[in-house]
Homo-oligomer: A and B are copies of this chain.
Amino acid sequence: MIREGDRPDQSCVILEGWLCRYRIIASGRRQILSLHVPGDVPDLMGLHLAVMDHTLSALTPAVIGCIPYRRIDELIATYPRLAAALWRETLIDAAQFRGWMVGLGRREALSRIAHLICEMYLRMQVIGLTDGFSFRFPVKQVDLADATGLSDVHVNRTLQELRRRGLLSLAKGDLTILDWEQLKSVADFDPQYLHLGD
């Protein structure tokens, strides 16, 4: 949707589907920086930074709403508190990056993947897209690998280990958490960084 190096003049809101942001380095390896679900506005940064430092792309077929920056500026002028709300949104964005950094740098594979799943479960719950402990998780293992900094083969084996331990089931993009407490514990998951509560 937007490429690294672009100078966009509008933001988008996800109405349906999943997007991700990523960057590819010289060796050809890709790091996914964030996953985005309906309700997210994944490119607010363009409002104050001229050049995109990463690419925004769809993981699934998606429906997107577009808002020109010009229009956002007008809205902010009319409703000054909107600026604070959007600013806050970008701060939560940054908090999520921090959450992922800890995983990338200091968690082993099992915990890293479990953590990502805990996060996406809560985020899906907040937007009403969970059914009990089940939700759509249309992320391919290769993408999961690029999000967690692992190889796809290792992601596959780690998912098997999570299944073997009875923590979750995942097939055809349908994920069910079978033991939330244990999953959280394996993930060392503390939702604080998502700032859902405030």
Smallest CB gap from A28: residue in B: B106
Decide: A49 and B105 in contact? CB cutoff 8 A.
no
A102 interfacial by beta-carbon distance below 8 Å: yes
| Contacting residue for A93 out of B92, B94, B104, B192, CB 8 A | B94
| Separation of A149 and B102 alpha carbons in the complex (Å) | 9
Task: Tell me the A4-40 residues at the B interface (CB within 8 Å).
Answer: 5, 21, 23, 25-27, 29-31, 33
Decide: A91 and B48 in contact? CB cutoff 8 A.
yes
- As for how many copies of this chain the complex holds, the number is 2
Smallest CB gap from A102: residue in B: B31
Smallest CB gap from A193: residue in B: B53
A95 interfacial by beta-carbon distance below 8 Å: yes
Decide: B106 and A29 in contact? CB cutoff 8 A.
yes
| Contacting residue for A91 out of B33, B49, B104, B105, CB 8 A | B49
A50 interfacial by beta-carbon distance below 8 Å: yes
Q: Which of A5, A87, A105 has the most CB of B within 10 A?
A: A105
| Separation of A27 and B186 alpha carbons in the complex (Å) | 11
Decide: A31 and B106 in contact? CB cutoff 8 A.
yes
